[in-house]
Amino acid sequence: MLDNLLDRWKHTIYLSLLAPPLAFRADRTYQKLPQLPSAPPRRALPMLSIIVPARNEAHNLRALLPSLEALDYPGQVEVIVVDDNSEDETAVVAESFGARVIRLRQLPADWLGKPYALCHGASAARGDWLLFTDADTIHQPHGPAQAVQYALEHNLDGVSLFLDQQCRGVTDRLALTAAFAGMFTAWQPASTHLNGQYILLRRQVYEESGGFTAVRHEALEDLALGRYLRQKNYRVQMMRGEHAAQVRMYQTRTQMWHGMNRLGSQTLRFSGSRALWTIFFITITMNPLLVLLAVLGRRVHRIWLPLTWGAVALSFWPWARRFGSGWYALISPFGALVVQLAGAWGLVRRLLGRGIHWKGRTV
C-alpha cells in the first residue's frame, strides 16, 4: 500500500517548490491588514459592555478578568460573564472578580451553545458598544478604548481583531502556524470573516441586524456573523490588533485536535472556491514527509529531500516567527500534516453525521 501511495505521489510531491511564493503572498496579505492604532484615546468614550461566553473556563477567567479590571477606558465599562452550564467554578470565579454573571442551564434545540450565550449576554448589556471576547484572551489596558475610538473616528459599525497568538507546546505551535498560513493563502481584502476572539459592535447595529440570533445554529458563529453583516451592508472592519490583546486558543493537545477538527471542517465552506488554495497549500507543505519516505525507498533522488524540505521551511519562516520562533519552520511539514489530518477527520465525522466534540458538546 505504501509503495502504491509513493508511486501515485511521485510526480506531485515536487509541487512543494511552489510553497514559498504562496506563503509569502499570504504573509503580505496579513501584513497589509489595517492595524489598530496604538495611541491612547483622546476623549471620553461611550459606555462599553464586555461580554464573555464561558463554559468550564474557571482557569482562563483567572487571567482574563484581572486584565479587564485593569483597563484604562475613558468611560463606563461593565463586564458580563455568561456561564454556559459549566461543570467547574466558572460562575464563582467570575463573581469573585466583580463581573456580572448570567447562568444558563438549558440549551434550546435550535441553538448551539456559544451563540446562545452571546445572545443572552448582549440582551443583558447596557453599553452603547458591545465587545464579545473569549475567556482565553488577556487584554491590554488601552485595547478596548483604541478599538472603540477607531470605530467612531472611521464611522464603522464595528471592528474585529486578530490577536497575538500565544503557544506553549510544540504541537499547537506547528498546527497554528500551518493553519494561519493556509488561511491567508485564500484571504481576500474584501473578506467577510470576523474573529470571534474579539468582535466589537455598535449596540444599535447588533439589535437591528438580529446579531447572534441570525446565526444561532452555526458552529463557527463568528464567520457566519461576518458574512451575515456583510450581506446586510454593515461596515465591520477586520484588523490586526496584536498589541490590544493576546490569546491562547488551546490548553491541551486533545483540545487542539478537536479545535482543528471544527475549524478544518467548517472554515473552508465560508471561503467558497478560494478554499482550494488553502487545501492545495497545506497539501504541498506536508509533501516533504512523502519525499522522505520516497528517498528512503529509493524511488526519487535524494537531492529532492533538501530542496522540498527547504522550500517548505522557507515558506513558514515568517509565520513561525509570528508564533514564537522561526526555527520551528524547520519541522513545519509536521504541522501541515496535523492540520490536514484534523481537517479530514472533521469532515469525515460531519459526513457520517457524528459532529465534532467541542467543550463537552457535539457541534
Q: In Å, how far are 9, 60, 91, 124, 246 from 56, measured between CA atoms?
A: 44, 9, 9, 21, 20
CATH class of segment(s) 48-168+189-250: alpha beta
Measured CA to CA, the distance from residue 309 to residue 330 in angstroms comes to 8
- DSSP 3-state assignment of 162? strand
Q: In Å, how far are 133, 143, 181, 258 from 198, measured between CA atoms?
A: 5, 11, 20, 21
Q: Is the dihedral of CA 126, 130, 133, 139 positive or negative?
A: negative
For 176, the grid coordinates are 497554528
DSSP state of 35: B
For 227, the grid coordinates are 458574512
How many CA atoms within 13 Å lie on the side-chain side of 145? 20
pLDDT in tens, the chain (363 residues): 555 655 566 667 778 889 999 999 999 999 999 999 988 887 899 999 999 999 999 999 999 999 999 999 999 999 999 999 999 999 999 999 999 999 998 888 889 999 999 999 999 999 999 999 999 999 999 999 999 999 999 999 999 999 998 887 888 889 999 999 998 998 876 667 899 999 999 999 999 999 999 999 988 899 999 999 999 999 999 999 999 999 988 888 888 878 788 777 676 666 666 778 888 999 999 989 988 888 888 878 888 899 999 999 999 999 999 888 889 999 999 999 999 988 888 888 777 777 777 676 676
Q: What residue ranges do the domains of the chain occupy?
A: 2-30+260-362, 48-168+189-250
> What's the pLDDT score for residue 170?
87
- DSSP 3-state assignment of 54? strand
For 55, the grid coordinates are 463554559
Please state the separation of Cα 272 from the chain's center in Å. 18
Please state the separation of Cα 110 from the chain's center in Å. 24
> What's the pLDDT score for residue 353?
72
